[in-house]
């Protein structure tokens, strides 16, 4: 799953699908700063909650120090795709 994380936001939450240079990404705001992996952990926890999976099921696989990240969500791909589709407009 490709996401664009906005650390130090006033409010945490999903911001919908946003365009990017290499395709659309899910926008995500977190209130944590990008220090010591805190924003990454918050992003993983937010995605886990939104998809109804355990926080340990979501990991950053690319872009740990960048705003644009690739996350891996463990679980049934069909069920996860269905839940992800329900999040968007």
Domains of the chain, first to last: 2-76 (3.30.1200.10)
Confidence of residue 57 (pLDDT cuts 50, 70, 90): very high
Please give the pLDDT value at position 88.
61
Rounded (5°) CA angle 43-73-15: 40
For a pLDDT cut of 70, what percent of the chain falls above it? Answer: 98
Query: CB of 56 within 8 A of CB of 49?
Result: no
DSSP 38: H
Q: What is the pTM of this model?
A: 0.89
pLDDT per residue as tens digits for the range 74-83: 999 999 988 8
> Mean of the per-residue pLDDT values for the chain?
92
In angstroms, the CA 24 to CA 46 distance is 19
pLDDT per residue as tens digits for the range 19-31: 888 899 999 999 9
Residue 22, class by beta-carbon neighbours within 10 Å (0-12 exposed, 13-18 middle, 19+ buried)? Answer: exposed
């Amino acid at each position: 799953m490709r996401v664009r994380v906005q650390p130090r936001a006033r409010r945490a939450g999903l911001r919908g699908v946003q365009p990017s240079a290499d395709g659309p990404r899910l926008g995500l705001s977190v209130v944590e700063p990008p220090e010591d992996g805190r924003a990454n952990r918050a992003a993983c926890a937010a995605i886990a909650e939104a998809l109804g999976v355990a926080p340990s099921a979501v990991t950053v696989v690319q872009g740990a120090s960048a705003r644009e990240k690739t996350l891996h969500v463990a679980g049934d791909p069909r069920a996860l795709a269905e839940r992800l589709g329900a999040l968007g407009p």
